[in-house]
Chain A
Amino acid sequence: MAGYLAKRLLSLVPVLFVVTVAIFLIIHITPGGPAASILGMEATEEEIERLNEELGLNRPIHEQYVTWVAGLLRGDLGDSIFMRMPVSRAIREHIGPTLSLAIVAQLIAIVLAIPFGMLAAYKRGTLADYTLMGASLLGMAVPSFLMGLLLMLVIGVKLGWLPVAGYAPLSAGLGVHLKFLILPALSLGSIQAALIARMTRSSMLDILNLPFIRTARSKGLNELKVVGKHALRNAFLPILTVVGQTFGTLVTGAVVVESIFNIPGLGQLILNSIERRDYAVIQGVVLFVTIIYVAINLAVDLLYGAVDPRVRLDKR
């Protein structure tokens, strides 16, 4: 296990190198250079020169990269020009809503998808199966920001059941917190729910045909126990894979959904920073979310071994 972990961590080195180079280079492709872009059209040569000096942009590019990465390794993501604070602090102030949203979306997706996926597998070939799978196909074709708008329109505006937009932190109470998060989480989680339902169905179908299910039935266990316990447990690994992989995309997707519902998370931070041409923040947020994304995927891979003893990671 330790050997496998070391190997996986080592393989991340080139990935992170490319990631940092790519994100570093992004601000250097701005037309006319970042300083001119920050200051706008009316800036004089001297002003641009002065800002370049202040931001260290007049040094050779590899030197700038090394300085930047050295800062990253110390946890220093640079400073926001507009907000006059370290980027890491800006991220800390905005991460809460994003994570809350992603987690609630994941929970909703799991709670909806696994029972429906099991039902579809159990009732395979019936109307219920076709309806559920048709719905999931449609669900995958609706992008989250659109699902958000539609939910907002139907549930928020027409029916008035839930607030249309806004956010309340967890400190305002769990009930209020969730009330604001349900619509965004539902829109964010719908594609995930569709994916998990499909994976649950196909994984269950594989298992339901196996001899040990027949054995369980023939020894007189009730159906609920056969399907809910024996079959689900064995069908769980592929489901876990999808859940794990999609959690990374949920964190990313949250960034988009936030802007629809005016949730003050990382998405709003990055979009505001685009208007302010606050490149350090944009770089910082993209890098931060990428690292979360990579870390989640690694954690999911490592979890396989814990869930399924048949997967012997270190023997590979």
Chain B
Amino acid sequence: MELLNREQYDVLRKRLAREQRRLNIRRIKSNYGLVAGAVLFLFFVLLAVAGPLIIPHDPAEMKVAERLMAPGGTHWLGTDEFGRDLLARIVYGARVSIAAGLSVAAIASVLGLIAGLYASYYKWLDHVLMRICDGLYAIPGILLAIALMAALGASIRNVIIALSIVYTPGIARIVRSAALSVRSQTYIEAMVVQGAGATRIIWRHIMPNTLSPLLVQATFVFAEAIISEAALSFLGVGIPAPEPSWGNILQAGKLVIYKAWWMVVFPGAAIVLTVLGLNLLGDGLRDHLDPRLAAKGKR
């Protein structure tokens, strides 16, 4: 019996990969939550990226004569207390809010990944890092963020720093627990015995196995960071005016709540729909990446 030659093997491998991809796509398509979440979220990302090209108004342009105009006419979503176009402010606010959320999710993921991986590998480091995580975790997130913002001062950069500090411990824990279950596998022991270096084992063999739970958690952190940024800005310790963010539009909206319902309802809807999209996306990703969990949850 003749073995496959190089060419046949390549053809077969490509066909298998294609088949795998097709199955994967079909599984994604039948995961309605994942699709709905992705569509909802991507809509707002698109709005943030392309919106400024379409909307004819400048978010900073003040027109005294057009203060607090109700939705309709040239201002589709109305205007704010300075006569600025609300739609333009929400669209530019989407850039700020989504960018802040994304930065927090990315920074917390990288820091959490490094901390979680090394904690799973070195026992002494595990004790130190996990006690630090426990401690930071014990301080209610929004309070820690408020206290950090009080010290650092209100700015976009500081919001990102403060929220990254708040969300890193949670991610470190998740990465660590995923990494620990890999760490005890025989093939890792085998690598240690063969003399592979710690860096190689950690980054080439343990790290890839922690990426699925990390991705899921990062999605949830993204959503929470958007909420927290909005809360901080709403309280006046987050992103300062005149830079629009969903939170500080709401802060202005509270002051004119008697006269201008649109200042509360539209930015509020933007936050809720974005967060809902990210949460559905996170749930969907979890089901997709860990089918065993999905089966358990569906009882």
Q: Mark A265-282, 1 if CB is under 8 A from B, else 0.
A: 000001101100101001
B146 touches A274 (CB 8 A): yes
- In the complex formed, the residue of B with least CB distance to A34 is B151
For chain A residues 259-312, which have a beta carbon within 8 Å of chain B? 259-260, 270-271, 273-274, 277, 279, 282-283, 285-286, 289-290, 293-294
- In the complex formed, the residue of A with least CB distance to B276 is A141
- In the complex formed, the residue of B with least CB distance to A154 is B261
A15-B257 contact in complex given A205-B299, A252-B143, A286-B139, C-beta closer than 8 Å: no
Residues of A within 8 A of B258 (CB): 157
Q: A16-24, A104-112, A170-178: which one contacts chain B?
A: A16-24
B271 within 8 Å of A by Cβ? yes
Residues of B within 8 A of A274 (CB): 146, 149-150, 237
How many residues on chain B are close to A (CB under 8 Å)?
42
A145 within 8 Å of B by Cβ? yes
A143 within 8 Å of B by Cβ? yes
For chain B residues 109-156, which have a beta carbon within 8 Å of chain A? 131-132, 134-136, 138-144, 146-153
Q: In the bound complex, how far is the Cα of B267 from the Cα of A145, in angstroms?
A: 13
A15 touches B135 (CB 8 A): yes
A141 touches B146 (CB 8 A): no
A248 within 8 Å of B by Cβ? yes
A18-B272 contact in complex given A140-B279, A149-B254, A286-B139, C-beta closer than 8 Å: no
B230 touches A286 (CB 8 A): no
B231 touches A145 (CB 8 A): yes
B175 within 8 Å of A by Cβ? no
B151 touches A255 (CB 8 A): no
Q: Mark A7-30, 1 if CB is under 8 A from B, else 0.
A: 000000011111101110011011
How many residues on chain A are close to B (CB under 8 Å)?
54
Q: Is the interface of A mostly helix, strand, loop or mixed?
A: helix
A31 within 8 Å of B by Cβ? yes
A19 touches B135 (CB 8 A): yes
Q: In the bound complex, how far is the Cα of B299 from the Cα of A128, in angstroms?
A: 18
B268 touches A150 (CB 8 A): yes
A256-B264 contact in complex given A15-B131, A23-B147, A149-B250, C-beta closer than 8 Å: no
Residues of B within 8 A of A23 (CB): 139, 147
Q: In the bound complex, how far is the Cα of B140 from the Cα of A251, in angstroms?
A: 10
A143-B134 contact in complex given A149-B257, A255-B142, A279-B151, C-beta closer than 8 Å: no
Q: In the bound complex, how far is the Cα of B235 from the Cα of A283, in angstroms?
A: 18
- In the complex formed, the residue of A with least CB distance to B150 is A274
A282 touches B253 (CB 8 A): no
Q: In the bound complex, how far is the Cα of B144 from the Cα of A283, in angstroms?
A: 10
B192 within 8 Å of A by Cβ? no
A249 touches B231 (CB 8 A): no
A138 within 8 Å of B by Cβ? yes
Query: Out of B142, B143, B261, B279, which one reaches A153, CB within 8 Å?
Result: B261
A70 within 8 Å of B by Cβ? no
A199 within 8 Å of B by Cβ? no
Chain B residues with a Cβ under 8 A of chain A: 131-132, 134-136, 138-144, 146-153, 227, 230-231, 234-237, 250, 253-254, 257-258, 261, 264-265, 268, 271-272, 275-276, 279, 299
Q: Beyond the given A30-B152, A138-B272, A255-B142, could you list 9 further A-B residue pairs with CB under 8 A, ordered by the A residue number? A: A17-B131, A22-B136, A27-B151, A137-B279, A145-B231, A145-B234, A149-B253, A153-B261, A153-B265
Top 6 closest pairs, chain A to chain B, by CB: A18-B135, A252-B140, A141-B276, A274-B150, A14-B131, A143-B227
Chain A residues with a Cβ under 8 A of chain B: 14-19, 21-23, 26-27, 29-31, 137-138, 140-143, 145-146, 149-150, 152-153, 157-158, 164, 205-206, 248-249, 251-253, 255-256, 259-260, 270-271, 273-274, 277, 279, 282-283, 285-286, 289-290, 293-294
